[in-house]
Amino acid sequence: MREKHLWKVASVLIAVLMGLTMIVSCSKDDEDGGGQNSDGSPGKGYVKTTCTKCSGKGDCNLCNGSGRWCYSCNSTGNCTRCEGNGKCYWCKGVGTYQCTWCKDGSGVCHFCNGTGIEHFITSYTCTSCKGSGICSICHGAVTMQCSICDSSGGCPECNGTGNCKSCGGKAYCPNCTNGDGKCKTCEGNGYIWVKSSSGGSSSSSGSGSSSGSSSNYTSRCQKCGGSGKCSNVKSSDNIKLYCQGNKKCRPCSGTGQLNYIFGSGYIGCTYCDKEISKDLGNGVCGFCHGTGQCTSCNGMGYK
């Protein structure tokens, strides 16, 4: 009888301990700082927002989800220099080439026909071969070692593989992971969790369901305000100096020149990315170097 009573007491204690564990677990889910809830979403202090990089589609904005795009080879996977054959474009894969400067490939000087003397009104020593009569380029050897490929015969661009240098021949999109076609910012979900300035609880303002959310818990870029464009929202001269994504130098409107403070003349723009001459800039935004993207978040809008 006493043993039965002890078992009941033990069962009650176990139930109380399990209840306390669940309460602690739930309270942790609600803590500010990014702890995950049971549905995978972050805890209090984060809100779900549409990914600005893919506009909520979840697809890579370069290949539109296909995963097959490469700027360099136009998705062919072939080296653009040798068109995929792996051979040196100069010696055609031989490693040597015939001199085209000497007379009929004979190794003699092209200008004096091997005599060492040139004739023009009067006779004088050939200025090309210095009187030797030998071709000054191949030095009489006719066959020359290819300096482009170091006599290997392989394409110097792809090291003889024939594959595109940028994508390694896979033609994968360089903007998404292994050509999966998904947006890197939101991992293909179309939304990310962002820290809320108000510290409110998780919401579902973005696209997609509340469960199975992205693991990207991040903060909006403070420099561009989440736009991803070349800007600085904290600067009072934001609109005057930063290109806001159009890639052109804002102070000179892409002309490369600025008006004199006094008079109607022009001086070279010092805000441009590069100086073409003393009085002319290249007209490219010097803050983003012509990319149009925020340099702090690389155009992501979040960090």
Nearest to 93 by CA among 167, 170, 163, 162: 162
Residue 27 confidence class, pLDDT cut points 50, 70, 90: very low
Based on the structure, what is the number of domains in the chain?
1
Other Cβ atoms within 10 Å of 122 Cβ, number: 6
What is the signed CA dihedral for 67, 68, 73, 76, rounded to 10 degrees? 150
* Residue 39, beta-bridge partner list: none
Dist CA 168 CA 75 (whole Å): 11
Strand, coil or helix: 300 = coil
Distance CA 250, CA 272 (A): 9
Beta carbons of 244 and 272 less than 8 angstroms apart: no
pLDDT score for 298: 81
Cα 15 to Cα 105: distance, rounded to the nearest angstrom: 99
Averaging pLDDT over each range in 58-67, 71-80, 247-256, which range is the top one?
247-256
270 within a domain of the structure (yes/no): yes
Q: What is the mean pLDDT of residues 84-97?
A: 88
- Considering the domain boundaries, does residue 137 fall inside one? no
Whether 249 has a pLDDT exceeding 90, the answer reads: yes
The Cα 280–Cα 295 span in angstroms is 25
Residue 260 lies in a domain: yes
For the ranges 126-130, 171-175, 194-198, 257-261, the maximum mean pLDDT occurs at 126-130
* Domain annotation covers residue 42: no
> Which residues form the domain of 302?
225-303
Asked, for residue 123, whether it belongs to a domain, the answer is no
Residue 82 CB-half CA count within 13 A? 27
Asked, for residue 273, whether it belongs to a domain, the answer is yes
Q: Quick check: 214 pLDDT over 50?
A: no
In a domain, 6, yes or no: no
The two tokens of residue 158 are 């792809």
Inside any domain, residue 233: yes
**Percent with pLDDT over 90 in the chain:** 6
Report the alpha-carbon angle 20-23-26, nearest 5: 150
How many residues can be counted in the chain? 303
